[in-house]
C-alpha cells in the first residue's frame, strides 16, 4: 500500500476526495502543516551555520558543539517540511504553473537534500577532528564555505515561500532605491478618458466587482494567485485556454466560481475558504452577472451617466488615480492616516479584513463579518480611528450594538454599509448622522423600526436599502421610501431579496411568532 504522501503526489486531483469519503481529509491536513513545520529547519540550520562562522571569524579550531546536532535535527525536520509542502501544493495549488511556486518547490527540495548531506559531512568532520587527522583543518574550512552556500539556499527558499504567501516583490520592492520605486508607481498624469458603459458593464462595476474585491482578490489578485487563478482583470479571468475559465459566460451551472460559493461551508473546496461565505444576495448578483454574459470592462472612467461613486473610484483606479465623485482625489491628514493605519493593524489581528479599495488608495474596505470572536462594542474605538478612511464597512453578523455603533463617529467617505443580522437598531444607525456618500445599506434582520425611514430619506446619495425581515418591510413603508424614485428598498416582495442557498437565517424570536416567516411560506 502506498504511503499517504505518495498518493497525494501521484493523484493530486483525486486523492483528497478519495480520502475525504472515508473520514477526515488527512492528506490535506498534512499539507496544511507545512507553514508550521517549515520555520523549524530554517532556524536550526541558520543557527548552526552562524555558529560555525562565528568560530571561523574568532579563529577557533574545531566544530561548534551546536553544529552537528542542530544540522541533523534541521535535516530530518526539513524532510517532513518538504513532504508536507509537496502535499500542500498538490491540494492548494493544483494545476498552477506559477514560476514562483515551482522555484520554491524545487529549490526547497534541493536545499533539504543539501542539509542531509551537510549533516552527514559534519559527522565526518567531527570524526576527523577527534582522530587529529591531518585533513581535518582543510575539511573544516571547506565545510564552513559550503555551509554558507547552504544558508543562502535556505534564505532563497524562505524568500520564495514568503512571496507565495504575501505576493511577488513583497521584500524586494521595499529594498529598491526611492527613484526606482517611483518608476514602478502608477503614473497619474494621464487624462481621464470617458468611456460609455453598457448596462451589463455598469452592473459589474457597481455590484459584482465589490463582491470579488472582498471575497476573492486577496487570494486571487495581483499579489497572490492561489491555484494559479487570478480574477482581478479580464485578461487573467478569461485567458486563452477556455478550459481553465472559472466563469463560463451565460452558463452559471458550468461556472466553477458559482459552484464553489454554493458548496456547504464544511466542504474543503468551498470558497471563500474561511468565514461564513457569501450571502444569498451576493450569490444572486454573481448568478445574474454570469447569466447576462459576465461582462468585465477592461477599464472605465467617471462622468458616465449612471455610474455611481463606487464604480467611478474603481474605474479611475485603473487609470492610476483614486477618485471620489467629480474626479477629486481623497486627501487624508497625515496624523489621521497614521491613527487609521494603527487601527487597521489592530483590527487585522482581530480577524477583520482591511484592504484598500483600489491600488494606491488611502480609502479602505473593512469586512468584520468573519472575525472570531465577533466584533463587539469594545472594538468600536478601533473603527472610530479608521472611520475617516472607510469606504465600505461590513459589520454583518457582528456583536456590535447601538452603543458601539454610536462610538464610531463620522464616516465621510462611506459608500456601502452592511449591518445585517445584528442587534443594531434605530439609535445606533441615526448616531452615524448624515453620510454624504452612502449609496447602499443592508439592514436585513436588524432591530430597526419605522422611525428610521426619515433618516434614510435624509441621506443624499442613498440608492438602495435592504429591509427584509425588519419592521420596515411593509407595503406602506416600502412605498414611502420609494416616493420620489431615488431610493430602491429591497424587501421580501422582490426576487433579489429571496435566498437561493443557503437560506437566510431567521430571527428565532420572530420566527416563533410567525412574523419572520419566509416569503411564500
What is the pLDDT at residue 272? 85
Cell (9 digits) for 82: 518538504
pLDDT at residue 16 tops 60: no
Task: Say which residues have a Cβ less than 8 Å from residue 90's Cβ, sequence separation at least 6.
Answer: 8, 9, 12, 15, 31
Match 454624504 to its residue by C-alpha cell: 436
What is the pLDDT at residue 170? 55
Range from 253-257, 295-299, 423-427, 473-477 carrying the lowest mean pLDDT: 295-299
Mean pLDDT of the chain: 76
What is the pLDDT at residue 407? 92
**Over residues 490-518, mean pLDDT:** 47
3-state secondary structure 176-235: CCHHHHHHHCCCCCCCCCCCCCCHHHHHHHHHHHHHHHHHCHHHHCCCCEHHHCCCCCHH
Range from 114-118, 205-209, 348-352 carrying the lowest mean pLDDT: 205-209
Which of 407, 462, 463 is closest to 431 using CA atoms? 407
Query: Per residue in 50-101, pLDDT tens?
Result: 888 888 888 887 888 888 888 899 888 888 888 888 887 776 665 555 677 7
Cross-strand bridge partners of residue 392: 365, 416
427-452: string of b/e by CB count within 10 Å (b at 16+)?
Answer: ebbbebeebebbbbbbbbbbbbeeeb
**Over residues 182-200, mean pLDDT:** 52
Query: Per residue in 326-365, pLDDT tens?
Result: 333 567 788 888 999 999 999 988 889 998 887 667 889 9
**Over residues 404-429, mean pLDDT:** 92
What is the pLDDT at residue 31? 72
Which of 62, 58, 3, 57 is closest to 27 using CA atoms? 3
- CA triple 263-202-217, angle to 5 deg: 45
Confidence of residue 416 (pLDDT cuts 50, 70, 90): very high
pLDDT at residue 289 tops 90: yes
Confidence of residue 171 (pLDDT cuts 50, 70, 90): low
Protein fold of 330-513? 3.80.10
Confidence of residue 14 (pLDDT cuts 50, 70, 90): very low
* Residues 135 and 127 sit within 8 Å (Cβ to Cβ): no
Confidence of residue 298 (pLDDT cuts 50, 70, 90): low
pLDDT at residue 185 tops 50: no
Radius of gyration of the chain measured on its C-alpha atoms: 28
**Over residues 144-158, mean pLDDT:** 84
**Over residues 151-162, mean pLDDT:** 80
What is the pLDDT at residue 165? 62
pLDDT at residue 398 tops 90: yes
**Over residues 424-432, mean pLDDT:** 93
For residue 418, the surrounding DSSP H or E stretch is strand 416-418
Task: Say which residues have a Cβ less than 8 Å from residue 31's Cβ, sequence separation at least 6.
Answer: 8, 84, 85, 87, 88, 89, 90, 91, 92
Match 466563469 to its residue by C-alpha cell: 247
Q: What does residue 248 show for φ and ψ, rounded to 5 degrees? A: -105, 105
What is the pLDDT at residue 390? 93
CATH 3.80.10-classified regions of the chain: 330-513
Confidence of residue 6 (pLDDT cuts 50, 70, 90): very low
pLDDT at residue 1 tops 60: no
Confidence of residue 505 (pLDDT cuts 50, 70, 90): very low
Amino acid at each position: 500500500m502506498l504511503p499517504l504522501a505518495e498518493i497525494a503526489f501521484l493523484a493530486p486531483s483525486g486523492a483528497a476526495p478519495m480520502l475525504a469519503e472515508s473520514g477526515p481529509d488527512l492528506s490535506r491536513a498534512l499539507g496544511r502543516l507545512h507553514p508550521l513545520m517549515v520555520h523549524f529547519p530554517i532556524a536550526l540550520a541558520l543557527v548552526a551555520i552562524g555558529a560555525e562562522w562565528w568560530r571561523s571569524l574568532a579563529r577557533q579550531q574545531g566544530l561548534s558543539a551546536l553544529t552537528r546536532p542542530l544540522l541533523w535535527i534541521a535535516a530530518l525536520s526539513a524532510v517532513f517540511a518538504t513532504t508536507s509542502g509537496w502535499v500542500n501544493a498538490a491540494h492548494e495549488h493544483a494545476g498552477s504553473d506559477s514560476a514562483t511556486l515551482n522555484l520554491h518547490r524545487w529549490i526547497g527540495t534541493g536545499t533539504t537534500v543539501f542539509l542531509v548531506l551537510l549533516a552527514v559531512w559534519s559527522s565526518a568532520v567531527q570524526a576527523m577532528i577527534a582522530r587529529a587527522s591531518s585533513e581535518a583543518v582543510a575539511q573544516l574550512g571547506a565545510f564552513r564555505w559550503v555551509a554558507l552556500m547552504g544558508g543562502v539556499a535556505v534564505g532563497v527558499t524562505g524568500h520564495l515561500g514568503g512571496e507565495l504567501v504575501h505576493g511577488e516583490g513583497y521584500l524586494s520592492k521595499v529594498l529598491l532605491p526611492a527613484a526606482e520605486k517611483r518608476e514602478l508607481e502608477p503614473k497619474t498624469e494621464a487624462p481621464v478618458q470617458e468611456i460609455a458603459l453598457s448596462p451589463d458593464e455598469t452592473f459589474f462595476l457597481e455590484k459584482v466587482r465589490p463582491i470579488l474585491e472582498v471575497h476573492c482578490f486577496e487570494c486571487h489578485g495581483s499579489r497572490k494567485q492561489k491555484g494559479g487563478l487570478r480574477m482581478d482583470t479580464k485578461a487573467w479571468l478569461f485567458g486563452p485556454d477556455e478550459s481553465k475559465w472559472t466563469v463560463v459566460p451565460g452558463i452559471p451551472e458550468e461556472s466553477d466560481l458559482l459552484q464553489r460559493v454554493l458548496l456547504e461551508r464544511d466542504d474543503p473546496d468551498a470558497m471563500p475558504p474561511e468565514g461564513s461565505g457569501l450571502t444569498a444576495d451576493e450569490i444572486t448578483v454573481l448568478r445574474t452577472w454570469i447569466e447576462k454574459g459576465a461582462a468585465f470592462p477592461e477599464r472605465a472612467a467617471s462622468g458616465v451617466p449612471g455610474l455611481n461613486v463606487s464604480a467611478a473610484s474603481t474605474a479611475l483606479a485603473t487609470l492610476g488615480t483614486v477618485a471620489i465623485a467629480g474626479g477629486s482625489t481623497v486627501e487624508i491628514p497625515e496624523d489621521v492616516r497614521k491613527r487609521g493605519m494603527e487601527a487597521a493593524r489592530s483590527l487585522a489581528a482581530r480577524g477583520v479584513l482591511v484592504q484598500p479599495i483600489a491600488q494606491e488608495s488611502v480609502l479602505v474596505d473593512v469586512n468584520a463579518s468573519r472575525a472570531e470572536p465577533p466584533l463587539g462594542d469594545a472594538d468600536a474605538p478601533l473603527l472610530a480611528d479608521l472611520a475617516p478612511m472607510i469606504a465600505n464597512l461590513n459589520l454583518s453578523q457582528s456583536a456590535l450594538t447601538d452603543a458601539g455603533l454610536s462610538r464610531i463617529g463620522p464616516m465621510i467617505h462611506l459608500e456601502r454599509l452592511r449591518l445585517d443580522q445584528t442587534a443594531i437598531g434605530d439609535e445606533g444607525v441615526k448616531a452615524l448622522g448624515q453620510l454624504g456618500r452612502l449609496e447602499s445599506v443592508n439592514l436585513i434582520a436588524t432591530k430597526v423600526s419605522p422611525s428610521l425611514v426619515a433618516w434614510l430619506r435624509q441621506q443624499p446619495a442613498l440608492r438602495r436599502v435592504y429591509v427584509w425581515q425588519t419592521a420596515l418591510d411593509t407595503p406602506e413603508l416600502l412605498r414611502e421610501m420609494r416616493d420620489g424614485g431615488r431610493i430602491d428598498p429591497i424587501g421580501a416582495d422582490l426576487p433579489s431579496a429571496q435566498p437561493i442557498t443557503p437560506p437566510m437565517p431567521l430571527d428565532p424570536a420572530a420566527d416563533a411568532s410567525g412574523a419572520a416567516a419566509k416569503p411564500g411560506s
